[in-house]
Structure 1
Amino acid sequence: MDGQLLAFTGVAAGMVAMPGADFTVVVRNALVSRRAGLACALGIAGGLLLHTALAVAGVAAVLAALPALFRTLQLLGGAYVLYLGARTLLELRGPRATASGEDPPATRPLRQGFVTNALNPKAPITFLSLLPQFVPAGAPALPRTLLLALIVVVLALLWFPAVALLVDRLGRRLRAPRAARAVGGVTGAALTALGAGLLLEAAMQAG
């Protein structure tokens, strides 16, 4: 692996591991069960695959050129994350899946992970600005960019399932009624704050 690929891998690893909505929604689902956490992690990797494919195709440039479209996606993403946070907090009021340990259908956490990541409009623009910096001068752009995109997806496939497995390993303690309510409250509040932040940012940009 050349120096540029090593540097990109380090930068991409930091981006993937940075705490945010993706991390929080994986923790939320992993508290339900290992299967739910892993399914959510795969959904997030699928969202990243979509973003990197869009960046390679140049669609991210369209988002950058059309602020109204960008804000629309930002509003949708913020609203969805806010919905997940509110739903998590509401579940604390009754013996729902988070507290009871009931395992939901795998498609639900998979969908949550994918939608949470896919509705983040900043991701493709970040990739569009980042990927070209690691394409050597004179090298074919498409194969190199595809390789960089693959690195991002592989890192996600390593990191988020690891988070899910770690939370599941601690699950016996974390799923105790008092601990489950505390962790559910923290993750719900975090998702709510993240969603509200996205909505506020989009509203300020629109104004």
Structure 2
Amino acid sequence: MDAQLVAFTGVAAGMVAMPGADFAVVVRNALASRRAGVVSAVGVAGGLLVHTALAVAGLAAVLVAVPALFRAIQLLGGAYILYLGCRALLSVLRSTPGSTPGSTTASAPEGRPGAGREERSVGGVGRSLRQGFLTNALNPKAPVLFLSLLPQFVPAGRPPLPRTLLLALIVVVLALLWFLVVALLVDRLGPWLRRPRAARAVEAVSGGALAVLGLILLAGPLGAV
């Protein structure tokens, strides 16, 4: 058994499962519909695929060598995550006490319980995918982390490219599986989580978490100016 591979899988699983902006976005979209949550999970995995590809190619080193570029991407990512958080919080403030945040007045066709929600989610599939992808892809710290982490698990004397490709694939697969589980679990708990009071609480917590994460990302580069 490859002990280094097992160790890396454990480290990667811990990194992927750590709550953050990706988690908040998937939960928020899964609360709207199972399809939106699943698509967001796919988007997050797609963002990770970009980061691991950059790390494998060595291009992430550019972010370290050019601080201005790193700060610009960090500002962009922080602003986008802050936007998502503020949007969620505004949705909570605008919703009435008896309604679900972000819901519409459209009703399900007769004889098809829940069909209205599924049909409304169709138009938001692209948006959910984009939110999941951009939330992850606009985090400039991720490729730098992978660039410093992956080489630690390449055995001496082995060709680095095949090994780093395998490690990158493990990260993407773990992320996809984890966030799919999160999305499906949230949907499974949907009858309770989609109650107006619970939905407002989840929306407020996820929106607040995103807003705080966005501010933290913005504070770093702004404080360095």
- Tell me the TM-score normalised to structure 1 length: 0.96
> Number of aligned pairs?
206
User: Structure 1: any 5+ residue segments left out of the alignment?
Assistant: none
2:173 to 128, 131, 154: 154
Using the TM superposition, give the Cα deviation of residue 141 of structure 1 relative to its aligned residue in structure 2, in angstroms: 0.4
Q: Secondary structure at the match of 1:197?
A: helix
Deviation at 1:201, TM superposition (A): 1.3
Equivalence for 2:111: none
Once residues 125 and 50 of structure 1 are traced to their aligned partners in structure 2, the CA distance between those partners, rounded to angstroms, is 12
Residues in 1 aligned to 2:35 and 2:71: alpha-carbon distance in whole angstroms: 34
| 1:72 equivalent in alignment to 2:72 | yes
Instruction: Give the structure 2 partner of residue 200 of structure 1.
Output: 219
Q: Which has the larger radius of gyration?
A: 2
What residue is the counterpart of 1:39 in the other structure? 39
Query: In percent, how many aligned pairs have the same letter?
Result: 71
- TM-superposition CA deviations, 1:107-127 (whole Å, max 9, x none): 110000000000000000000
C-alpha contact 2:100 2:194 (8 A) present in aligned 1 = no
Where does 1:75-94 land on structure 2 (aligned, <5 Å)?
75-92=75-92, 93-94=94-95
Report the Cα offset of residue 98 of structure 1.
Answer: 3.6
- Mapped partners of 1:133, 1:174: distance in 2: 42
CA RMSD of aligned residues (A): 1.3
TM-aligned CA distance change 1:204 to 1:122, over 3 Å: same
Match of 1:178 in 2: 197
1:15 equivalent to 2:15? Answer yes
Q: Which amino acid aligns with 2:21?
A: A
Q: CA deviation at 1:154?
A: 0.6
Structure 1 residues 114-156: Cα deviation after superposition (integer angstroms, max 9, x where no partner): 0000000000000000000000001000000000000000101
Structure 2: tracts of 5 or more residues without a match:
105-116
Is the CA contact 1:29–1:37 (under 8 Å) kept in the aligned structure 2? yes
Q: Which residue of 2 aligns with 1:124?
A: 143
Q: 2:24 & 2:102 partners in 1: Cα distance? A: 14
Q: Distance in 2 between matches of 1:162 and 1:61?
A: 33
CA change 1:27–1:114 in 2 (3 A) is same
Instruction: State the shift of 1:90 in Å.
Output: 1.1
- For normalisation by structure 2, the TM-score amounts to 0.89
Q: Pick closer, same or farther for the CA change 1:59–1:96 going to 2, 3 Å.
A: farther
Query: Is the partner of 1:31 in helix, strand or coil?
Result: helix
Please give the secondary structure, in 2, of the residue aligned with 1:59. Answer: coil
Aligned to 2:109: none
